Structure 1
Amino acid sequence: MRIYGHGRPVRLFVAGLHGDEWKDTTVLLKRIKPPKIGTLALIPLVDCGKYISTLNPDYYPGIGKKIVRAIEELKPEIYVELHSYSSKNLEKLAGKNRLELIGVPSYSILKEGVLLGSVSPWIRRKYFPKESLCLSFELRKGSLESRKFAACMLEILKEIQSLDEFIEYMKKEFPAQAKKAMEDYQRFYGEM
């Protein structure tokens, strides 16, 4: 884990959570610069072994345990996971029926094949208060445009100081996606 800056807010960004996702995501965290305010903790590579979904209840106590340790130690207000997906899985991630089929809300499509959603409820509910900002980004595998856009989003997020500030940013820059994400979150978790 790399830690830059000091004080609040604390942001924790993780990448390379499973399988070969590290090929598209790890480099983004290795290139990020320190924040102007607060702390930025980075775990550029969680695991490059077998793919186990973060929706599996065994993920975080197993291969994701270094994430859990970092969360318990740092108590971040902002938590971001970087994942990558094959184009053939776009419907599975961003399809309208994801909640019914998989049990979690679908991702919102932002730009350049980058998807935005919440992190797994297994970690969200157990380790974060409702005021925390917990995001999952999915990048399209092998896409330079997707990596560039995700890098821009990370630069914005490393300076964001709260959930409310991020919501205002999203309402301005991606109003349709912000509306969908907030509705999905409220429907799934009950409140913002």
Structure 2
Amino acid sequence: METTYSWETGGKGGTSRLLVGGIHGQEGSSTIKVIEVAKDISVPEGRWALYNFPPSPYLSTLDPLYYLSLAGSKLVSIIQENKPDIFLELHCYHPDSYFKLTKGDRKDFFGVPGLVELENGVLMGSVSPLIRSVFFALNDFPFVLEIPCNPSKEALKSCQRIMEIIASSSNRREILQKLGQIYPRQVQQLDDYFKEYTENFHPAFVEIKKRAMETDLKSYQDLDKLLTEVVKQEDYDLNPRQIKQLEGAFLIFKEYSSFRCCKTAQI
């Protein structure tokens, strides 16, 4: 089955919406089914761009090396080109991964909170903090949908409902308001995760970028020292995994900031 796909509609003005699927491994054979549903949804204003990736070696999007791989650099270029206000990253998971993705202590093991099930096995959460901090403004809406691999008709119907909300909304507030009418408990949980991000990871990353401009960083040891100082002095609630992700996000920022085309590329 051919999984590579690229399609867009709408003009340059208004809300920029970007959906990408199959960005690592063999997930594209499942996410293409969601993309095919998405292309038939009408968008009242703005832009609607859809991409589905061909198979590629699997690297976690929580690994900075992913964004230096062929697939990861292609994803970054698509984000830079579209500068989306609303960004949806589609993934698929096997049944034995459900608990790992949703468990409450996922942040301790992987540095990110557990995904939240909306319905029919469709899970929702934020994209990797490695790109959330670098390529998106704070109030943009970059998020992940994890669907069961070989999704059922019910799961695809749930995805269609979510994407119809995206297509008819122009910002984060509208999307969450509409989703909250259907999934109130889940949206409250996601909002709690977002507040934790805005109070800890995001301001820490901003401060690190600021101080890096004022510091002669000659080695990784210098960067580690800066990270430790920022987290300790500002008393951010970040575990060792998250501190390591701050380092990864900064390195990705340094790798791609020369393009100066993304909304948060400048300090």
Which interval holds the TM-score relative to the shorter structure? over 0.9
Does 1:99 pair with 2:107? Answer: yes
Cα distance in 2 for partners of 1:85, 1:151 equals 18
Q: Which amino acid aligns with 1:44?
A: N
Report how far residue 152 of structure 1 moved: 2.5
Cα distance in 1 for partners of 2:150, 2:94 equals 9
Q: Which has the higher helix share?
A: 2
Cα distance in 1 for partners of 2:144, 2:94 equals 16
| Residue from 9, 23, 27 that aligns with 1:4 | 9
Cα distance in 2 for partners of 1:27, 1:175 equals 27
Cα distance in 1 for partners of 2:199, 2:78 equals 27
Report how far residue 139 of structure 1 moved: 0.2
Cα distance in 2 for partners of 1:75, 1:22 equals 22
Does 1:158 pair with 2:167? Answer: yes
If you compute each CA radius of gyration, which structure gives the higher value, 1 or 2? Answer: 2
Aligned pair count reads 191
Cα distance in 2 for partners of 1:134, 1:169 equals 16
Aligned partner of 1:19 in structure 2 is 25
Cα distance in 2 for partners of 1:76, 1:49 equals 24
Aligned partner of 2:151 in structure 1 is 143
| Residue from 108, 112, 119 that aligns with 2:127 | 119
What aligned pairs does 1:50-69 form with structure 2 within 5 A after superposition? 50-62=57-69, 63-69=71-77
Cα distance in 2 for partners of 1:17, 1:69 equals 13
- Which one is further off, 92-101 or 33-42? 33-42
Cα distance in 2 for partners of 1:65, 1:158 equals 26
Q: Which amino acid aligns with 1:5?
A: G
Aligned partner of 1:42 in structure 2 is 50
- Which one is further off, 118-127 or 136-145? 136-145
Q: TM-score, normalised by structure 1?
A: 0.93
- Which one is further off, 98-107 or 69-78? 69-78
Q: Which has the higher strand share?
A: 1
Q: Structure 2: any 5+ residue segments left out of the alignment? A: 1-5, 203-267
Aligned partner of 2:80 in structure 1 is 72
Q: Structure 1: any 5+ residue segments left out of the alignment? A: none
Cα distance in 2 for partners of 1:28, 1:108 equals 19
Does 1:128 pair with 2:128? Answer: no
Report how far residue 52 of structure 1 moved: 1.0
What does the per-residue CA deviation read over 1:139-189, in whole Å, with 9 as the maximum and x for residues that have no partner? Answer: 012231222311321222122210010121122111100111011121133
Are the aligned partners of 1:132 and 1:163 in contact in 2 as well (CA < 8 Å)?
yes
Cα distance in 2 for partners of 1:158, 1:60 equals 27
Structure 1 vs Structure 2: percent identity of aligned residues?
Answer: 30
Q: TM-score, normalised by structure 2?
A: 0.68
